[in-house]
Amino acid sequence: MRSFLLYCLLLSSQLAGAQLRKDYLFSSLSSRNGLVSEEVVDVQQDEKGFIWIATVDGLQRYEGRRLLTFRHIEGDTTSIPNDNIEKMRIDKKNRIWLLFNENKIGYMDPESLSFHEIPVRAPVNITNISISQLLIEDDGTIFFLLYRVGIFVYDEAKQEFNSQNLPVQTPAGWNAIYIKKDKAPAIYWVACDSGLVKYDSRKKSMYYRDQNTVNDPLIAAARELRFITFLVPDHSGRIWLMAHSSSGMVSLLYSFEPKTNVLKEWSSDISSIVKNPKHRVIHVQEQSDGTVWVMGGNLLAGLSKGAEHFELIESNLPGPYSIRYDAVLNIYEDRENNLWFCTNKGVYRINPSSQFFHAVTNTRPGEGALPYPQAVSGVCQTSEGDIIVSTLGNGLFRYNTRLQPLPSNFVVNAARPDESIACMYQQSNGDIWKAGEDGNITVTRKATGKVERVNFFSGTTIIRQITEDKDGNIWVGTHSGRLAKWDPVGKRLIQLQKFKNRIMRLLPDNKGNLWVCVLQNGLFRLNIKDGAVMENYTTAGPANRKLLSNDAYDMLRYSDSLYVIASGGLNILNIYTNTISKLPATAELPSNIVCNIIKDRLGYLWVTTQSGLCSVNMSTNVVTNYNERDGVHTSSFIAGTAALLNDGRIAFGTAHDWMIFDPATIAKNNFRLPPPVAITRIGMMNKWLNPDSVSSLPVLELSHDQNSLTIEFSTMTFQSSYGIFYKLEGLDENWQLSRQFHQAVYNYLPPGTYTFKAYCTNADGVHSRNMVEMKIRIKPPFWKTWWFLGILVLAGVCVLYWLDKVRMQKIRATESIRTRIATSLTEDMSNSLSSINISSELAKAKVDTDRQRTKEYIGQISETSSRMVQAMYDMVWSINPKTDTMADTIERMKSFAGEIESIYEINIGFDIDLGVRGLQLNMEHRYELLSVYKEAITNAGKHSGGKLVEVSIRYRKSKLLMMIVDDGKGFIMDNVAMMGRGLSDMRRRASAINASFYIESEINTGTIVKMEMPV
C-alpha cells in the first residue's frame, strides 16, 4: 500500500518502447511449476485440449493449472519404457506416439493413460542407432526412420513397425533421414544423406539428381545438397531445407521458391542477427499466420509473412516475461494459436495475435532507440491528433498516431528535456495547460503559440489535476488539497477550497457540478459557480450512500444518471436517487485498490488496480482480467494517467513507460463463443480417479464412506480466460463461481443422487453452448437401506408391543398400589372412627359429672377427625396422576408448612436441589414421603417449642434424602420408645418404601429427622 501511494505521489508510469516492437511477453513452465525436467523436447495437444509435454525425464500432461506426471515404473508394462523421450507426435486416432532413448517406440492411450510399446521388425539391433525419426503424415501414415537401417511404417493389423508395403523408396545406398508427403496425391519427398528424392507411390517411380526425368525444379535446385535433415513446406509454397552443401560439412538453411525456382541460403542472414556465433539450426516451423520460425542452439528467430529478414527473439532479456534458452528444440502451435517453445530451460508460451496491450518506451526522434525510462505523468491527444506524453524528469514527448516520435516546437518551447511535469490538459480552445512538479503552471496558447506563466502555486505544492467545466472555466487541484479556479479577467488563480488531503481527480459534469476525489476524505460535489461543497460521500452515513473506502482515486460519468467512483473498489452512484451500489461478489477485481477507471466506446470499463488490469461489463457484471498472456507487462499503474484517444484506443501510465491498446480489437476476441468445460480430475477421499474412465460411466457410484469429493475442471484454454460456474444439483442451491484453482470441494455428501454441472462465460456474459454434466450416486449405508429400515419397522412394532405390555403392567401395579393405599386409608378411617366413637361415649358419660374430662374427650374427637380428613385429602392427592412430579410434592409440602406456621409460632424454611423438581415418584412413594414429612413438621411445631425448622431435600446417587431440623428443646433418645404412635408410624411408612429412617435429638439442641429413599 505504501509503495502504491508513493507511485501515485510520483505519478510515474512504465511502458515499453516508443515504437511498436515485437517485445513478446512469455508465460513459462519450469521446475518451479512442477516440470520434472526443464529440458523439454516436444509439446503436443490432444483432442480434449490437454497439453502433453515430453522431457528427458518423463512425460507430463497439463490442463492449465496442474501437471500430471508419467514415468517408468519397474514391473509395470503399462508405464513408459524409460523416461528419456526424444520425440512425440499425436496421430489422427488421438494416440500419443513417443520415441525414447534406445529407440523404444510406442503410444500412450490418453483415455486409459496406459502405454503400449510397439515392436520394430528390424534386421539388426536398433538400440544403439543414434539417428532416428518419428514422423506422422497428414494421411495418418506413421513412419519410423532408423539411419542406415531402413524405413519402417506402422502396420495397424499386426501392431508393429515393419518394412512391408512401404509407400516410399530410395536409391540404393541412399539413407533416409526425413520424409514429407506432398500436397499432390501419392507424392513423397525423402531427405537423404546423399540428396533429395521425390517418390511417386502410384507409378513406383523415383526422381533424384541423377534421375530427374520429370525435370522437377526442386530436385534440380537441390542437386548439390547433401545430408538433408528436414524438408518443411510453408503455406506460400516455399520449401525449407536444412542440408550440407556438396563442398562443405556445415549445415545451412535453405528455402526454395517455386515461383522463381530459386534456392536461397539463409544462414548468413541469420548469422547477422544472432549475437552468439556458436548457433545451430535444428528445425523450421511455420505458424498459422504465415510466420516462419527457425530454432536451434542459441537460436530463435521469426520471419513474418512478407518479410525479407528474420527477427531475433533474444534470450535472457531483462524482465520477468522474457524467454531464456540455450537451445530451442521445438515449437508447437495449439488450437488457440498459442506457440509453445520447447527449450532446455523449460516451456515458454506466447500468442502474438492476442497480445493486445503494447508497451511504449519514450524516445525522441533522431536518437535511435535511446530510451527515456522516467515516470509518465500523463497522456494527452491534441485536437490535431498528436499524442503528448508528460514525464517526471524527461520533459515532454510527442508522437503521431502510429506512435512514431516526432519533433515538436511545443515540446521544445513548453518544457525542458529534464523537466518534471506533474500533469497536462488541453483546453477546448486548443490551449495546453502544463503543471510542473515545482508548482509552476504554463499555458501554451494555440492561437499565438506563446507560452504564459501562472505563478499562484509556484514552489508551494504539486499540481495534480487541471480540468475545464462546461462554462469553459479552468479548475486546478493540488497535492496539498487546494482547489482553485482560473480568473481569465484578472489572469490569476483564485482558491475556493482547501481540503485536508491530496486531490486525485477533478470531474466537471453538465449539471453545474464539480466532483472532487480526495484521499482519506472521500468524494465531494461542488457548485461550479462558487465552489461551495454541496455533498460529501464517505464511509459514514446510511448503508446505501456509503463508499467502500475514504480513499477516492478516480471517477467517471458512465451514463446520464450513473457515476463510477474508484474508492476501495468500484462504487456506482445514481445521482437521481442519491444512492451508491456496489458490484456483486462474483465480480471480483484483481485488487480493491483502484487507481484508474475509463470507459471505452463499447461501454466497457477499464480498471487498473494495484494487482493488475481488468475490464468490467456493467450490463452483466462480468470482470475479465488481463495479464502477460495478453501483453500486460506490469501492474504498476499510476493514478490519473488514463486517456481515451480520438480513435478509441486507451493509454495508461505505469512505472517506467506507458501502455496502449485498442478495446475494439479485444472485444472481437472476447465475443467468441466460450468453449465447453471439461472435468480434468476427480479426487475421492484424497485419492485421484481416472477422469476418462469415470466419464464413460453413466453414473459414478460411491459407497457411503467415499463421500468426500474434489472435482477439478478446466476450459482447456491457455490464452483466453473464462469465468467458470458450477453447481451440484441436489446440494447446491445456487451456481458457484470458481476462483483461482477451478475446483469444487465437497467434504461430506449425504447419501443420494446428484448431478454436477459446469459451464463458462465470456467477457460479454455469454454461456458456453454445452454444459458438462456428471451424475453421482452416494449409496446409503446398510442401516439406511429399505430392507434394513423394514427390519427396523418390524423391530419397532415389537418394541411398541412390549412397551404396551409394560405399560399395562405398570397400570396394574399402579392400581395395586392405589388399592393398598385405599385399604390403608380404610383401616385408618375405621380406627379413627372407632376412636371418635369411644371418645364421644366417654364424653357423654362424663358431661354432667366431670366437665374437664369431657372437654379433653371432645378435643381428642376434634383432633382425630381433623387427622382423618387430612389423611383422606392426602390420599386423594397422591393417587391423582396430575401430581406425579416432585415439584407437585414440594408445593404440597410448602402449603402444609404454611398451615403449621399459622397454628404455631414457628418459621419453616426450604433448601431444595434444582434437580429434585424434575424427579418422577410413584404415588406410594409420594404418599409415604409426604406423610413422614407432615408428621415430622407437626411434631416440630407442636412439641419442640422451637422457632425455626429447616427442610432440605437432596438428590444424590439415585437416592432422595429429606432432612428436617428444628431448634427446639429436644428430648432424650433413651425415651424415644415412649414417644407414642407418631414416631412408630414414621418408621413404618419409611419401611414400606424401603427407605432408611433416622432421628437424632439432644436436650436444648433440637431434633433432626432424616429419611433416605431410593428413586
| Residues 833-891 pLDDT 10s | 777 777 777 777 766 777 777 777 777 777 677 667 666 666 667 666 677 788 888 88
Which residues lie below 8 Å from residue 720, measured CB to CB, with a gap of 6+? Answer: 336, 354, 669, 670, 672, 762
Check pLDDT > 50 for residue 10.
Answer: no
Cα–Cα dist 925/648, whole Å: 96
Which CATH superfamily is 884-1015 part of?
A: Histidine kinase-like ATPase, C-terminal domain (3.30.565.10)
Residues forming beta bridges with residue 725, ordered by sequence position = 737, 759
Question: What are the pLDDT digits (tens) for 452-483?
Answer: 888 666 566 788 899 999 999 999 999 999 99
Q: Do domains 358-670 and 678-780 have the same CATH topology?
A: no
Residue located via cell numbers 425448622: 949
Check pLDDT > 60 for residue 1.
Answer: no
pLDDT at 573: 96
The pTM is what? 0.72
3-state secondary structure 847-903: CCCCHHHHHHHHHHHHHHHHHHHHHHHHHHHHCCHHHCEHHHHHHHHHHHHHHHHHH
- The mean per-residue pLDDT over the stretch 825-837 comes to 70
- The mean per-residue pLDDT over the stretch 336-363 comes to 92
Q: Which of 155-164, 210-219, 251-260, 488-497 has the lowest mean pLDDT?
A: 488-497
**Residue bearing the bigger pLDDT, 153 or 789:** 153
Question: What are the pLDDT digits (tens) for 208-222?
Answer: 999 999 999 999 999
Residue located via cell numbers 428444628: 966
Confidence of residue 729 (pLDDT cuts 50, 70, 90): very high
- The mean per-residue pLDDT over the stretch 164-193 comes to 94
| Sequence ranges of the domains in the chain | 358-670, 678-780, 785-879, 884-1015
**Residue bearing the bigger pLDDT, 333 or 866:** 333
Check pLDDT > 50 for residue 5.
Answer: no
Check pLDDT > 60 for residue 2.
Answer: no
- The mean per-residue pLDDT over the stretch 148-174 comes to 95
Check pLDDT > 80 for residue 1001.
Answer: yes
**Residue bearing the bigger pLDDT, 488 or 978:** 488
User: Residue 212 to residues 169, 207, 209, 222, 223: CA-CA distances in angstroms?
Assistant: 15, 5, 6, 12, 10
Confidence of residue 941 (pLDDT cuts 50, 70, 90): confident
- The mean per-residue pLDDT over the stretch 167-179 comes to 95
Confidence of residue 348 (pLDDT cuts 50, 70, 90): very high
Domain 678-780 -> CATH class: mainly beta
Residue located via cell numbers 525479407: 308
Q: What is the CATH number of domain 358-670?
A: 2.130.10.10
pLDDT at 152: 97
- Determine what percent of the chain is predicted with pLDDT higher than 70: 91
- The mean per-residue pLDDT over the stretch 593-611 comes to 93
- Looking at every residue in the chain, the average pLDDT score rounds to 87
Is 669 buried (19+), middle (13-18) or exposed (0-12) by CB count in 10 A?
Answer: middle
Question: What are the pLDDT digits (tens) for 380-399?
Answer: 998 889 999 998 888 889 99
Q: What share of the chain is helix, strand, coil (3-state, %, to 5)?
A: 20, 40, 40
Check pLDDT > 80 for residue 829.
Answer: no
Check pLDDT > 80 for residue 733.
Answer: yes
pLDDT at 739: 75
pLDDT at 200: 96
Tally the C-alpha atoms within 13 A of residue 563's C-alpha that lie toward its C-beta.
Answer: 28
- The mean per-residue pLDDT over the stretch 339-363 comes to 92
Check pLDDT > 60 for residue 517.
Answer: yes
pLDDT at 655: 86
Is 5 buried (19+), middle (13-18) or exposed (0-12) by CB count in 10 A?
Answer: middle
**Residue bearing the bigger pLDDT, 8 or 536:** 536
Which residues lie below 8 Å from residue 999, measured CB to CB, with a gap of 6+? Answer: 973, 976, 983, 1007, 1008, 1009, 1010
Query: How do 752-761 and 743-746 pair as beta strands?
Result: unpaired
- The mean per-residue pLDDT over the stretch 145-161 comes to 96
Backbone angles phi, psi at 815, to 5 degrees: -60, -40
Confidence of residue 293 (pLDDT cuts 50, 70, 90): very high
Check pLDDT > 60 for residue 900.
Answer: yes
pLDDT at 19: 30
Question: What are the pLDDT digits (tens) for 383-442?
Answer: 889 999 998 888 889 999 989 888 876 655 555 667 888 889 999 998 999 888 878 888
Helix (H, G, I), strand (E, B) or coil at 714: strand
pLDDT at 255: 96
Backbone angles phi, psi at 299, to 5 degrees: -145, 130
pLDDT at 224: 92
Check pLDDT > 60 for residue 706.
Answer: yes
Cα–Cα dist 468/735, whole Å: 47
Confidence of residue 167 (pLDDT cuts 50, 70, 90): very high
Question: What are the pLDDT digits (tens) for 772-823?
Answer: 999 999 988 887 788 888 888 999 999 999 998 888 887 777 677 667 666 7
Residues forming beta bridges with residue 997, ordered by sequence position = 1011
